[in-house]
Amino acid sequence: MRRTARLAAEDAGLMEAAAILKRGGLVAFPTETVYGLGADATNAEAVAGIYAAKERPSFNPLISHVDSFDAARIQGAFDETARKLAEAFWPGPLTLVVPVASTCTVSDLARAGLDSVGLRVPSHPLAHALLKATGRPVAAPSANRSGRVSPTDADHVLGDLDGRIDAVLDGGATDVGVESTIVACLGGMPRLLRPGGVPSEAIEALLGRRLEIGSEGAKNPVAPGMLASHYAPRAQVRLNATEIRPGEAALLFGAAPLQGSAQAKAQLNLSENGDPKEAAAHLFSYLRRLDASGVETIAVAPVPETGLGEAINDRLRRAAAER
């Protein structure tokens, strides 16, 4: 339990909110759509804190909020269509999913390990001022506990998250009330991943063509979190390993060594202390590093189902199953 401060929408409150974000804390803040639960997107442990506070049982890619198109272009690669959409609808309730740029600083965890990044420049003056003062991308899902409705004022946020986050920046009621429209521009035709604050007709009118609906191959295209494009390593993933077999890479958890791990081709420990939050922060980047070692199989030590362990195991099971 921590004390959640209610910060006023004035300079001192803004500076305090930015300082909390910069040191890795959690701050809920108003956008024109709904209140977001923000963390420094470049700090994986801070991002893990979002999932812990929301009690989200799985890692979805998060939207990284920035204060300008120029800041967005450091994180993502904008093709002609994406640039057109950004120029027409930013700042505003539109999220663009684009390939990561080589200069991207958004953590693997905020991107759920994907090679794409969700970016948005909100138009709410407080959100804009906060992002400017923070000077880095801020990852923020809606500031509610998992399974509850999205909050449109500071009281809703406190009702769900009081004692679980550092502060809420109180900017009164938000005006759009529904989340941002999400459009993916990943090389092919632009695709509508989620309807929201910018009507899809307005986007289609600007582009002069219909939007494809949903992510390619998704079962239920418009539902967020149902994306077919989950990160999957190239190597096979063997779960709940109690020993490391010859030729395998080892993804460990906790202090106890696994039998055979000294001979592993490569090994990394998600958290020596057995801390699920630290493990979540490392999960995607460690999987990538072990995958890059060129092994055929990554053996993963058991991770307990407590706290973020549930979300970690959800992702590990997907990585093990997707072939």
Q: Residue 67 half-sphere exposure, CB side, CA atoms within 13 Å?
A: 12
Total site size for ligand TXA, rule CB under 6 A: 27
**Counting contacts by CB under 5 A, is residue 95 touching Mg ion?**
no
**Counting contacts by CB under 6 A, is residue 77 touching ligand TXA?**
no
DSSP 22: H
- Which member of 4, 9, 17, 33 binds ligand TXA (CB under 6 A)? 33
The option from ligand TXA, Mg ion, none interacting with 182 (CB < 5 to 8 A, set by class) reads ligand TXA
Choose the binding region for ligand TXA from 78-86, 139-147, 285-293, 310-318 (rule: CB under 6 A).
139-147
Q: CB of residue 33 vs ligand TXA: minimum separation in angstroms?
A: 3
258, 198 contact by CB (below 8 A): no
- Rg of the chain over CA atoms, in angstroms? 20
Q: CB of residue 141 vs Mg ion: minimum separation in angstroms?
A: 5
- Which member of 7, 17, 26, 34 binds ligand TXA (CB under 6 A)? 34
**Counting contacts by CB under 6 A, is residue 97 touching ligand TXA?**
yes
Q: CB of residue 38 vs ligand TXA: minimum separation in angstroms?
A: 8
Total site size for Mg ion, rule CB under 5 A: 1
Shortest-Cβ-distance residue relative to Mg ion = 142
d(CA 167, CA 161): 10
**Counting contacts by CB under 5 A, is residue 269 touching Mg ion?**
no
Cα-Cα-Cα-Cα torsion 90, 191, 313, 289, nearest 10 degrees, comes to -80
- Which member of 99, 113, 118, 151 binds ligand TXA (CB under 6 A)? 118
User: Where in 166-195 is the site for ligand TXA (CB under 6 A)?
Assistant: 179-180, 182, 193
Nearer to ligand TXA, 116 or 271 (CB): 116
How many other C-beta atoms lie within 10 A of the C-beta of residue 232? 16
User: Where in 111-170 is the site for Mg ion (CB under 5 A)?
Assistant: 142
- Which three-class secondary structure state does DSSP give residue 244? coil
Among candidate residues 71, 169, 152, the one with its CA nearest the CA of residue 117: 71
122, 197 contact by CB (below 8 A): no
116-120 β-sheet, strand order: 5-8, 167-170, 27-30, 35-40, 138-139, 63-65, 116-120, 94-99, 181-184, 191-194, 212-213
Task: Indicate the residue type of 168.
Answer: V
Assign 3-state DSSP to the chain and report helix, strand, coil percentages, each to 5. 30, 20, 50
Nearer to ligand TXA, 64 or 267 (CB): 64
Residues that bind ligand TXA in the complex, under the rule CB under 6 A = 31, 33-34, 36, 60-63, 93, 95, 97, 111, 114, 116-118, 120, 140-142, 179-180, 182, 193, 224-225, 227
Residues that bind Mg ion in the complex, under the rule CB under 5 A = 142
